Amino acid sequence: MPESFRYPSSLVQKLEQRGITFEKVQKVLEIGKEVVAHSNRKARVAVFPYNAYRRDRWFEEKEVRVVYREDSDGWLFVFTAIARYGRFS
């Protein structure tokens, strides 16, 4: 698992349910566009080609949004990651 960010233990199960890998989370943190988030949190979003079925529906793309904060020690703490499936570009 990536070592450049920290996360709550509950995130592992949520990512699996949402079809998001830790590699995708890392990629969003690297290349994602910064978007509005609540409080002292930040968020980044990126769209990836998907071209596959999910729950019996075909989707061309997957949008992944990662909500995080920057800790004073330089680490990122990831609160959650959310996936939406469809066409976004």
Q: Cβ neighbours of residue 14 under 8 Å, at least 6 residues apart?
A: 80, 81
Q: What is the pLDDT of residues 29-85, one digit of tens each?
A: 999 999 999 888 999 999 999 999 999 999 999 999 999 998 888 889 999 999 999
Structure tokens at 68: 């995080």
CB 37 within 8 A of CB 69: no
pLDDT for position 28:
96
Looking at residue 54, its pLDDT comes to 92
Question: How far apart are the C-alpha atoms of 88 and 4, rounded to whole Å?
Answer: 28
- Structure tokens of 8? 């709550």
Res 72: pLDDT: 84
pLDDT of residue 13: 94
The model's pTM is 0.89
Q: Specify the pLDDT at position 1.
A: 39
The pair of structure tokens assigned to 84 is 């939406």
Q: What is the pLDDT of residue 2?
A: 45
Residues 4-19 have pLDDT tens digits of 789 999 999 999 999 9
